A = this chain, B = another copy of it.
């Protein structure tokens, strides 16, 4: 296997994918990017930071305009002001994702990082999912989701993530073949999943 030092994590809501990424980065001693990434992007772009909040879960357009366009508009932000604010946010985020990947090994959760970094060959793309029962449990305990029908809420958040991903990429969110490896944390546990990924990255008897 080619040496993979950058790990992108896409995850179902409530799957523990963010925890996996955070623990993995900690154990490997490499940077972790999630909300942090948004803040860097906001700071660098000058776009109102509030616009970045939950951008991933805001887009609901179901077509591939941007995937078709490609976002390979490499120029400064001023050249793309005719685009919607969501698209501008995505482009700035993508630039930041590329920049942090350029710096060296790291873990990046969400932000279509797998797609943004698709030209690099040192990236391991991971999808984290879990059984609905565990996702509902995590939604209630970790995210304080309080709803009559929690399962619907969990699925709705996934739907928004899928829409965002599919709007900005050419791929279908959650398809096994988008990723190098997809893991069910209900089977392996959070710690087991972290261990599995750590061993892959360290190529220690995988």
9 other A-B residue contacts (CB within 8 Å) besides A181-B181, A181-B187: A1-B187, A127-B182, A129-B176, A192-B206, A195-B205, A196-B206, A199-B205, A204-B205, A205-B205
Residue contact A1 to B181, C-beta cutoff 8 Å? no
* Interface class of chain A by DSSP: mixed
**Does A54 belong to the interface (CB within 8 Å)?**
no
* Bound Cα distance A182, B1 (Å): 16
Copy total for this chain: 2
Partner of A176, one of B176, B195, B205: B176
A interface residues, how many (CB within 8 angstroms): 28
* Bound Cα distance A39, B184 (Å): 33
**Does A40 belong to the interface (CB within 8 Å)?**
no
- In the assembled complex, 25 residue pairs joining A and B whose CB atoms fall closer than 8 Å, in A order, are A1-B187, A1-B189, A1-B192, A2-B187, A4-B187, A124-B187, A127-B176, A127-B182, A129-B177, A174-B176, A175-B175, A175-B176, A176-B176, A176-B182, A177-B182, A177-B184, A180-B184, A180-B187, A180-B188, A181-B182, A181-B183, A181-B188, A182-B182, A195-B205, A205-B205
